[in-house]
């Protein structure tokens, strides 16, 4: 591609991204110099992303990434407008749902088939599962030395009711050869550079994960069409795995006879050191292992950190806990920096990979500053660490105990 043509494609790609984030056409946008962005994206009055609440915290606009403040995640199911956004490229525009097609093929597929959304709905059993999705880098901001990437705090997570068809049913319709090892996905999002020959992301999961009942090709979220920023009109959903595996704007699935080698599957992307390393260490690519199961975790969603109550009052707390294991078996809280722990009431999960609500009431014996900590334990005996777990170069899998600040003051 000639240099002039490349600059044109880059500018067109950035302009589409800016227009998408601003929510309207940018008049004279073609005149914006490369390297400059609309000033509204840096001003406080910018009121959010299409289809999303302006209460989300926007971390980035190239690509679009936004997290949900913890106190807005108190619902049993995360509302669509509050569900976090994690993109790697530019979302597609001018989507025609009625003419959207999914192709399944690959060296380990017995055939190649293409489905439209109506065929998926009519040919296979339609199911709904409550599934928790969490970015592998959620909590990255706490790593020290700092890790590169979006500096997520705790809000790159949500649990929604996803409706679609089981991936395994569609794979069976295509036919799977005995040498199948992995599936990979390709979406309609485009590379940030505007280079059509580059993929923004193309990840996947082992075939055993693809064959779980809860692994879905989904078109609905909480009873509504998927939000555009969460993959409209079609996506994959895998609970218990990094959300990057749940491909959005889904156009193609490949059945592989080896570990999928798409974009963001190699190097250090979504990988951690195979062995423990000292903080700040340089780790070679060949010593990094692909992240599969997500760790046990919990989040206090009520009250908001910084709450003030009177000494005579009890403090109700609530939140959610989740795991890639079968279930959460206990959640505890501490008000003395982890010296003593008290049990919370814990609800059963609706299904595997759904988060579980916990509740408790706390009595304080004296006024002053407190921190409320929460930790969860799952059915495999895994318990959240009190402090940041093992350091890794990309800042993945932080499942340290969540904590909130509470001020207790004298008075009735």
Give residue 180's pLDDT: 98
Same domain, 130 and 190: yes
Q: How many other β-carbons are positioned within 10 Å of the β-carbon of residue 178?
A: 6
Per-residue pLDDT of the chain (412 residues; tens, 9 = 90+): 444 444 444 445 555 656 666 656 666 667 777 666 676 655 544 446 889 999 999 998 889 999 999 999 999 999 999 999 999 999 998 899 999 999 999 999 999 999 999 999 999 999 999 999 999 999 999 999 999 899 999 999 999 999 999 999 999 999 999 999 999 999 999 999 888 889 999 999 999 999 999 999 999 999 999 999 999 999 999 999 999 999 999 999 999 999 999 999 999 999 999 999 999 999 999 999 999 999 999 999 999 999 999 999 999 999 999 999 999 999 999 999 999 999 999 999 999 999 999 999 999 999 999 999 999 999 999 999 998 888 999 999 999 999 999 999 997 6
Place of tokens 């909130």: 404
Dihedral in degrees, nearest 10, Cα atoms 236, 66, 303, 336: 90
Same domain, 103 and 216: yes
Give residue 3's pLDDT: 46
57 by DSSP, 3-state: which? strand
Same domain, 272 and 346: no
In a domain, 304, yes or no: yes
Cβ burial 61-80 (10 Å sphere, 16+ → b, else e):
bbbbbbbbbbbbbbeebbbb
Same domain, 106 and 126: yes
Q: How far is CA 181 from CA 178, 258, 378, in A?
A: 9, 5, 28
Q: How many other β-carbons are positioned within 10 Å of the β-carbon of residue 153?
A: 17
In a domain, 26, yes or no: yes
- Reading the block at residue 10, the tokens are 């880059």
In a domain, 86, yes or no: no
In a domain, 201, yes or no: yes
**Structural contact between residues 322 and 361, judged by C-beta atoms closer than 8 angstroms:** no
- To 5 degrees, how large is the angle CA 207–CA 122–CA 162? 55
CA 49 – CA 229 distance, rounded (Å): 9
211 by DSSP, 3-state: which? coil
Cβ burial 363-392 (10 Å sphere, 16+ → b, else e):
ebeeeeebebbbbbbbeeebbbeeebbebb
Any idea what DSSP says for residue 229? G
Same domain, 101 and 247: yes
- Reading the block at residue 275, the tokens are 């062995």
Same domain, 160 and 261: yes
Same domain, 168 and 279: yes
Answer with the one of 225, 260, 290 that is the final residue of a domain. Answer: 290
Same domain, 214 and 283: yes
Same domain, 343 and 272: no
State how many domains the chain has.
3
**Structural contact between residues 260 and 201, judged by C-beta atoms closer than 8 angstroms:** no
CA 174 – CA 134 distance, rounded (Å): 30
Give residue 114's pLDDT: 98
CA 326 – CA 347 distance, rounded (Å): 14
Answer with the one of 290, 307, 339 that is the final residue of a domain. Answer: 290
CA 109 – CA 329 distance, rounded (Å): 39
Cβ burial 394-410 (10 Å sphere, 16+ → b, else e):
bbbbbbbbbbbebebee
- Reading the block at residue 93, the tokens are 């525009």
- Reading the block at residue 1, the tokens are 């591609």
CA 334 – CA 336 distance, rounded (Å): 6
Those residues with Cβ within 8 angstroms of residue 22's Cβ, 6 or more apart along the chain or in another chain: 38, 40, 41
**Structural contact between residues 14 and 34, judged by C-beta atoms closer than 8 angstroms:** yes
CATH code for position 319:
2.60.40.650
pLDDT tens figures, 110-119: 999 999 999 9
In a domain, 113, yes or no: yes
Q: Residue 131 phi/psi, 5° resolution?
A: -130, 135
In a domain, 88, yes or no: no
CATH code for position 247:
3.90.420.10
In a domain, 400, yes or no: yes
CA 252 – CA 247 distance, rounded (Å): 10
Give residue 8's pLDDT: 45
Give residue 393's pLDDT: 95
CA 74 – CA 312 distance, rounded (Å): 25
Same domain, 275 and 164: yes
Q: Residue 409 phi/psi, 5° resolution?
A: -120, 155
In a domain, 11, yes or no: yes
What residue numbers bound the domain in which 349 lies? 297-409
**Beta strand 235-237 with 216-221: parallel, antiparallel or unpaired?**
antiparallel
Answer with the one of 237, 259, 290 that is the final residue of a domain. Answer: 290
**Beta strand 288-290 with 126-134: parallel, antiparallel or unpaired?**
unpaired
Same domain, 112 and 1: no
Rg from Cα positions in the chain: 22
Place of tokens 């050869």: 177
**Structural contact between residues 263 and 201, judged by C-beta atoms closer than 8 angstroms:** yes
Same domain, 389 and 314: yes
């Amino acid at each position: 591609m000639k240099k002039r043509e490349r600059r044109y494609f880059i500018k067109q790609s950035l302009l589409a991204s800016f227009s998408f984030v601003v929510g309207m056409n940018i008049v004279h946008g073609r005149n914006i110099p490369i390297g400059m962005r609309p000033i509204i994206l840096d001003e406080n009055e910018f009121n959010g992303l299409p289809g999303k609440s302006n209460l989300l915290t926007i971390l980035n606009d190239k690509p679009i990434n936004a997290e949900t403040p913890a106190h807005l995640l108190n619902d049993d199911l995360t509302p669509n407008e509050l569900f976090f956004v994690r993109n790697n490229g530019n979302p597609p525009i001018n989507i025609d749902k009625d003419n959207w097609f999914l192709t399944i093929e690959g060296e380990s597929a017995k055939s190649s088939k293409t489905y439209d959304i109506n065929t998926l709905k009519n040919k296979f059993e339609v199911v709904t599962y409550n599934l928790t999705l969490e970015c592998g880098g959620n909590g990255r901001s706490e790593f020290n030395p700092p890790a590169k990437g979006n500096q997520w705090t705790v809000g790159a997570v949500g649990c929604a009711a996803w409706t679609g068809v089981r991936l395994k049913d569609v794979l069976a319709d295509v036919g799977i050869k005995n040498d199948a090892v992995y599936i990979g996905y390709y979406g309609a999002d485009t590379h940030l550079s505007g280079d059509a020959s580059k993929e923004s992301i193309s990840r996947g999961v082992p075939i055993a994960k693809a064959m779980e009942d809860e692994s879905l090709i989904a078109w609905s979220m909480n009873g509504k069409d998927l939000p555009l920023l969460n993959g409209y009109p079609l996506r994959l959903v895998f609970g218990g795995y990094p959300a990057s595996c749940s491909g959005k704007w889904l156009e193609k699935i490949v059945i592989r006879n080896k570990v999928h080698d798409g974009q963001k599957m190699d190097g250090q992307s979504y990988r951690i050191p195979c062995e423990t390393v000292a903080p700040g260490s340089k780790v070679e690519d060949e010593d990094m292992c692909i992240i599969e199961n997500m760790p046990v975790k919990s989040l206090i969603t009520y009250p908001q950190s910084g709450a003030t109550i009177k000494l005579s009052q009890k403090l109700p707390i609530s939140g959610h806990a989740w795991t890639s294991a079968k279930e959460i078996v206990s959640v505890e809280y501490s008000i003395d920096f982890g010296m003593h722990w008290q049990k919370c009431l814990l609800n059963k999960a609706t299904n595997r990979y759904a988060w579980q609500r916990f509740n408790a009431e706390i009595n304080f014996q004296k006024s002053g500053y407190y921190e409320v900590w929460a930790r969860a334990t799952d059915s495999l005996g895994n318990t959240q660490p009190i402090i940041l777990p093992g350091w890794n170069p990309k800042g993945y899998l932080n499942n340290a105990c969540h904590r909130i600040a509470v001020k207790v003051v004298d008075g009735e």
